[in-house]
Amino acid sequence: MNNLILASASPRRKELLELAGFDFEIITADVDEVLDASLTPSQLVMSLAFQKASAVAAEHKQSTVIGADTVVVLDGKVLGKPHGNTEAKAMLTELSGRTHEVYTGVCLIKGDKMHQFFECTKVSFYPLESELIDSYVASGECNDKAGAYGIQGKGCVLVKGIEGDYFNVVGFPVARFCREIKAFA
Amino acid sequence: MNNLILASASPRRKELLELAGFDFEIITADVDEVLDASLTPSQLVMSLAFQKASAVAAEHKQSTVIGADTVVVLDGKVLGKPHGNTEAKAMLTELSGRTHEVYTGVCLIKGDKMHQFFECTKVSFYPLESELIDSYVASGECNDKAGAYGIQGKGCVLVKGIEGDYFNVVGFPVARFCREIKAFA
């Protein structure tokens, strides 16, 4: 395989790719994310993954570029990253005691070749007391996370169970990726 | 709550309890684990968790002692930790392309009070090529893990999906634990 580029600044995606034994570099581009409200969640994450990957691929035509994007969806409504503690509390209150979906889209681009896929994982939260929400938000972990929680951090205590790939919830479906890139390369 | 003791040497259990914000010390006792073949998997892990906790609790009657044990079960057969690479390969070959269960039993003891519970998570493996099994076993990650894999390590690439609590597979159902100890204390 030629050199591999991860077009994402997420430390969690970097860690998962390293764990799976990939050798890669990280190059990101500023993307004005275009959100088309008519897209389904799976189309949305693949579209955002494509936007991130293609911006980098345009400058690195010999490399295989990986883009990825993750969103949280409750009752068909997309929850992005919260803007401040008030919105974080509101999101966690909405998620409390319920099951939501986490979608991650992945896009691979090399020159003229392109491949996209997505994974969806269901996540069920315990009913959350307001003191738990307050202390979790105060920890500062919510800020850069879709849906205002990180399952791999202190957010582990919020989650009753999941159905699907855990690492997809963390932000990158690494096991599926290993198989998809083998078919792509 | 009085002081808390984790009666387990597992670095993963220590990490999860710390993540959940508990303040505790680690004290383990040598236990000759008694495996009663007539027990179901859930009874087995709770029995082993009790053996570990009670051995420590006998010497620390003022503390709340936590014992835990995790096993992997395929077709009703318990898979423990592999003895060497040959057994590790055999276990992973058995698990390949199939769904197994991971049981973790937890026991809390304080003086005369005792409380036990367990969690069960279903784990589905991708079909594993023999080269992948060989390279995973060569990584050395199998050795101290029930079922010969660690989902939180390089083993992340083996798993297609799960149903239930991810951290239960890692070795400690930390979210459930937070709720159970609140009721116990």
CA distance A73 to chain B (A): 19
CA atoms within 13 Å, Cβ hemisphere of A31: 24
> B82-129, pLDDT tens digit by residue?
999 999 999 999 999 999 999 999 999 999 999 999 999 999 999 999
Would you say the C-alpha torsion B156, B162, B167, B168 has a positive or negative sign?
Answer: negative
Tell me whether residues A154 and B126 touch, CB distance under 8 A.
no
**Over residues A100-116, mean pLDDT:** 97
Q: What DSSP string runs through B39-94?
A: S-HHHHHHHHHHHHHHHHHTT-TTSEEEEEEEEEEETTEEE---SSHHHHHHHHHH
Integer Cα distance of A31 and A65 in angstroms: 15
Report strand pairing: A99-110 vs A77-79: unpaired
The pLDDT assigned to A54 comes to: 96
Residue A3 has pLDDT above 90, yes or no: yes
Domain B4-184 coded CATH 2.60.40.10: no
- Nearest-neighbour CA in chain B from A33: distance (Å): 30
- Of all residues in chain A, the percent with pLDDT exceeding 70 is 99
Asked if B162 and A160 come within 8 Å (Cβ–Cβ), the reply is no
Residues in A whose CB is inside 8 Å of some CB of B read: 16, 19-21, 121, 126, 151, 153-154, 156-167, 174-176, 178-179
**pLDDT at position A84 over 60:** yes
pLDDT at A2 over 70: no
Which of A156, A166, A176 is opposite residue B20, by nearest beta carbon? Answer: A156
Band of residue A21 on the pLDDT scale cut at 50, 70, 90: very high
Q: What pLDDT score does A113 carry?
A: 96
Return d(Cα B125, Cα B139) in angstroms, integer. Answer: 18
Share of chain B above pLDDT 90, in %: 90
Mean pLDDT value of segment A86-94 = 97
Give the active site residues of B. 69
